[in-house]
Structure 1
Amino acid sequence: MSYKIVIDSCGELTQEMKESGLYETASLTMQVDEYTIVDDESFDQADFLKKVADSPNCPKSSCPSPERYMKAYDCGAEHVYAVTLSAELSGSYNSAILGKNLFAEEKPEVKVYVFNSRSASIGETLIGLKIRECEEAGMTFEEVVEAVEAYIAEQNTWFVLENLDTLRKNGRLSTIKAFVATALKIKPLMGANENGEIIQLDQARGMNKALIKMVDSIIEKVENPEDRILAISHCNCPDRAQMVKEAISKRIGLKDIFIADTAGISSMYANDGGIIVVC
């Protein structure tokens, strides 16, 4: 059976995923003052981060339209899967669902399913890889959906940010918490709950101590690591990401572990120096 995997642009696609022809990106857009930036192959992270740093205003994002998702679904494949960032963080999931319902009226014979990642960034990447694994194993459409939903339920997300401004300005953190954290150089260790909402897991004074706490939390939380892939995304801090990778690798044996640079939406929320880990 032919299949296609559509991932909104909060998810980072590896080079191999891009070259496979199995994946398509549904781009979000970002607004920084008078600048509109499309989160696609043209995204310039350095230029974007400079625009954000120079602006007194909070960057905003807009999700792909239902029509954009419909176009992605209409690809000639018999099975189509969409993966969106957490429905608690964006309208992308609802847009993908509406696009699916409209598309079903035109082509009811195509099977389409939309996964709410309940995560973001590299978490969506891992879900996209899991879908491919299940399809290549010869599972039916329904079996793929069941297996991937179970995988999402077991997935864990951790992140530590150098700068909390974007999360604060977008209402993801209380003003007091963000202000105190900044003033005292406290770095919260954040994660996502079972609904995909941002929660604080721990905190530490300084980035390095926060990253150590993150690694400790990962080691404690991940079960059967030999069967799991762990992924790290970073915003303009490859050395920091490599340090985290090496610290994890020394303590547990994973099936695989890889690093990716954040795309546009992930860069907007992670901000310069942010680290995201999903397993």
Structure 2
Amino acid sequence: MANGLISDSCCDYCEQSEELTGLRRVPLTIELGEERLRDDENLDIVALLKKIAACHVGVKTACPSPEDFADAMESQEGDAYVVTLSDKLSGSYASAQVGKTLCLERQQGKNVHIFNSLSAAAAQVAICLKINELLEQGKRFAEVVSETERFIHGITTLFVLEDLETLRKNGRLTQLQSVITGILKIKLVMCAEADGTIGMRGKAMSNGGALAKMVDLIRQKCADMSLLSRTLVITHCNCLERAEKVKQMILSVCPFQKAVICRASGISTVYASNGGIVVSF
């Protein structure tokens, strides 16, 4: 169960499934002024949301060190598969690459591959689930790497957030997107672009309208796809009821083989904010 599987801590918690119970998460750090919080399983998300709301300076995040990644790789008895945030959103991928070099200096001959998710959050869960599936099928290292890389380039990630303030403050939005969300208060349907940056797919006057538009975009995307072996992953930030509703809305028009709901990690919470929904498949 997820043997040899590693991710940075933006990979959300898939509590409805035991497939990733063996996943090793390498924590990023959340910086709120002078306070530093380690993004691990002990982080209180509700308390974090309150701290973010009360923080008068921009919330920042820091990727794990290369040594953190190297330690995680060396802890695996066999091959190691590492999934990171998009290299356009974080230094996590670059840090993991340096960590791989350190690991191989100490454990020569070990198979290690770093996957740039070109996305975040729910997409990282989807990628980890895919790797786990391939391992359970008995695929060899080279096969797992090639099939997973192909899977990554076919992933769709869409999200609707209640608040884009953190993304805006950290320069993750274009000037136009900042104006639309900050002044006009319009809700955006955002996406992970093919190059790992953040793009926009639609807009609405309300959260409900944006979610409905997102579901319709998913319906259009899935029209020519075989969903018999696809898993729908939905991450929610402190809004399980909304996630359940979105899940039913999507499944009513797209017959995914499986659908799982995840709770946001600390890093996902920082950027998705309270009430955020991220969907990946």
Task: Answer whether TM exceeds 0.5 for this pair.
Answer: yes
Q: Which amino acid in structure 2 is aligned with residue 78 of structure 1?
A: G
**Whole-angstrom distance in 1 between the partners of 2:217 and 2:142:** 34
**Whole-angstrom distance in 2 between the partners of 1:156 and 1:176:** 23
> TM-score, normalising length from structure 2?
0.94
Q: Is the 8 A contact 1:86 1:196 kept in 2?
A: yes
1:240 and 1:182, CA in 2 relative to 1: closer, same or farther beyond 3 A?
farther
Q: Is the 8 A contact 1:10 1:85 kept in 2?
A: yes
**Cα root mean square deviation, aligned:** 1.7
Q: Which residue of 1 aligns with 2:111?
A: 111
**Whole-angstrom distance in 2 between the partners of 1:189 and 1:233:** 15
1:213-241 CA-partner distances (Å, limit 9, x unpaired): 00001111132122210010011111211
Q: Which residue of 2 aligns with 1:255?
A: 257
Q: Is the 8 A contact 1:188 1:203 kept in 2?
A: yes
Q: Which residue of 2 aligns with 1:164?
A: 164
Q: Which residue of 2 aligns with 1:241?
A: 243
**Whole-angstrom distance in 2 between the partners of 1:102 and 1:232:** 35
Q: Which residue of 1 aligns with 2:205?
A: 205
**Whole-angstrom distance in 2 between the partners of 1:51 and 1:3:** 35
**Whole-angstrom distance in 1 between the partners of 2:113 and 2:76:** 15
In the alignment, structure 1 residue 11 sits paired with structure 2 residue 11: yes
User: By how many angstroms is 1:3 displaced?
Assistant: 4.3
SS in 1 for 2:4: strand
Q: What percentage of aligned pairs have identical amino acids?
A: 40
In the alignment, structure 1 residue 97 sits paired with structure 2 residue 101: no
Larger RCO, structures 1/2 (Cα 8 Å, 6+ apart): 2
1:190 and 1:20, CA in 2 relative to 1: closer, same or farther beyond 3 A?
closer
The 5 A counterparts of 1:167-246 are 167-175=167-175, 177-222=177-222, 223-246=225-248
Deviating above 4 A after TM superposition, structure 1's stretches of 4 or more consecutive aligned residues are 16-21
**Whole-angstrom distance in 2 between the partners of 1:207 and 1:118:** 25
SS in 2 for 1:155: coil
User: By how many angstroms is 1:67 displaced?
Assistant: 0.3
Q: Which residue of 2 aligns with 1:121?
A: 121
User: By how many angstroms is 1:18 displaced?
Assistant: 6.9
How many residues get paired? 278
In the alignment, structure 1 residue 275 sits paired with structure 2 residue 277: yes
Q: Which residue of 2 aligns with 1:86?
A: 86
Q: Is the 8 A contact 2:7 2:83 kept in 1?
A: yes
- Unmatched tracts of structure 1, length 5 or more: none
**Whole-angstrom distance in 1 between the partners of 2:20 and 2:89:** 29
- Unmatched tracts of structure 2, length 5 or more: none
Q: Is the 8 A contact 1:59 1:166 kept in 2?
A: yes
Range moving further from structure 2, 99-108 or 177-186:
177-186
**Whole-angstrom distance in 1 between the partners of 2:23 and 2:177:** 39
